Amino acid sequence: MPSALITGITGQDGLYLAELLVAKGYDVHGLIRGQNNPKRDLVEQLLPTVTLHNGDLTDMSSLLRALRDADPDEVYNLGAVSFVAYSWEQAALTTDVTAKGVLNMLEAVRLHTGDDPSRVRFYQASSSEMFGKVQDVPQHERTLLWPRSPYGVAKVFGHYMTINYRESYGMHASSGILFNHESPRRGPEFVTRKVSQAVARIHLGLQEELVMGNLDAERDWGFAGDYVEAMWLMLQQDEADDYVIATGETHSVREFVQLAFAHVGIDDWERYIRYDPRFMRPAEVDQLIGDRSKAEQALGWKPKVGFTDLVSMMVTADVEAIRSGWK
């Protein structure tokens, strides 16, 4: 039975990836941080066969202990401070977790595997935020990185450190440069879920307005359930490598909002929107669109869920969640 250790198992991607690996017959382990983490119950209910290990990406010995106890064939490093807007407010914490945490995990794997570092395959959750002020359209694996936030800078560090461990120690370490991916499990601080939750509440008469920042930003949005499949595929290759994972389509935040309202039959959506500069960022990533041709060729990976279906899925899930709370 293959085994895997997932950091960030309580997050959106961690849950989908754990479900995927359990379905594939893996013995799945997850790193869970903090005292009395409120998401422990959720993981235990959803994934009763998964073993949780206490640990934190900033605490190297906890990572070594988790590796010793789980003894995984594959490590998926998904843990991070992942909210871009927050990364300006806590830049040092973001650096400790999202940048140095990657080094800690790579070094822990290297120490754990001794003289055979390729024995454990490693996945790093890199991000399209590394492209920032984009230097190519669409963005691909060789596009110059120009991050625009402390989060983006931290991800660049993790990305190059992963490549460096591959080149220095022969580790099977791959980096997935994933573009935005969403789902009904997306954290409510991210724009898509903020919108889907608000639209559901407005539709059901529970909320009157939606307060937003920059509606002009454009993102390449896919479905998280599709994207975790790409992570797994990367670790099944003979050679470790880096891959862009994206739909190849870009849409504005405005389009997302408009479609979400249209899904519940509201066409005059603009009257519900209030602009608040609080949600603007010190530096914005204006447009992202990914070129996934390498992943499609080498991994045979393609997204299954399109933009319109993604928006419908998220709004429907939030409407149903509120209605089921009424029963």
Contact call for residue 139 and ligand NDP (CB under 6 A) = no
CB of 82 to ligand GDR, least distance (A): 4
CB of 223 to ligand NDP, least distance (A): 10
Q: Which does 253 bind (CB under 5 to 8 A by kind): ligand GDR, ligand NDP, none?
A: ligand GDR
Contact call for residue 188 and ligand NDP (CB under 6 A) = no
* Nearer to ligand NDP (CB atom), residue 50 or residue 97: 97
Q: Tell me how far apart the alpha carbons of residues 31 and 28 are, in angstroms, rounded to a whole number.
A: 10
Is residue 152 packed enough to be buried (19+ CB in 10 Å), middle (13-18) or exposed (0-12)? buried
CB of 149 to ligand GDR, least distance (A): 8
Contact call for residue 184 and ligand NDP (CB under 6 A) = no
Catalytic residues: 127, 129, 151
Look up tokens 């993102």; give the residue.
219
The answer for residues whose C-beta is within 8 angstroms of residue 90's C-beta and 6 or more apart is: 81
Is residue 216 packed enough to be buried (19+ CB in 10 Å), middle (13-18) or exposed (0-12)? exposed
CB of 163 to ligand GDR, least distance (A): 18
Q: Tell me how far apart the alpha carbons of residues 267 and 199 are, in angstroms, rounded to a whole number.
A: 12
For residue 56, give the amino acid letter: D
CB of 38 to ligand GDR, least distance (A): 20
Q: Tell me how far apart the alpha carbons of residues 324 and 217 are, in angstroms, rounded to a whole number.
A: 33
Please state the separation of Cα 169 from the chain's center in Å: 27
Which range of residues in 29-37, 43-51, 104-112, 268-276 is near ligand NDP by CB under 6 A? 29-37
* Nearer to ligand GDR (CB atom), residue 53 or residue 183: 183
Which range of residues in 68-76, 173-181, 203-211, 286-294 is near ligand NDP by CB under 6 A? 173-181
Q: Which does 217 bind (CB under 5 to 8 A by kind): ligand NDP, ligand GDR, none?
A: ligand GDR
Residue number, nearest CB to ligand NDP: 11
Q: Which of 4, 5, 12, 145 is in the footprint of ligand NDP by CB under 6 A?
A: 12
Which positions touch ligand NDP (CB under 6 A)? 7-8, 10-14, 31, 33-34, 37, 39, 56-58, 78-82, 97, 125, 127, 178, 180-181, 187
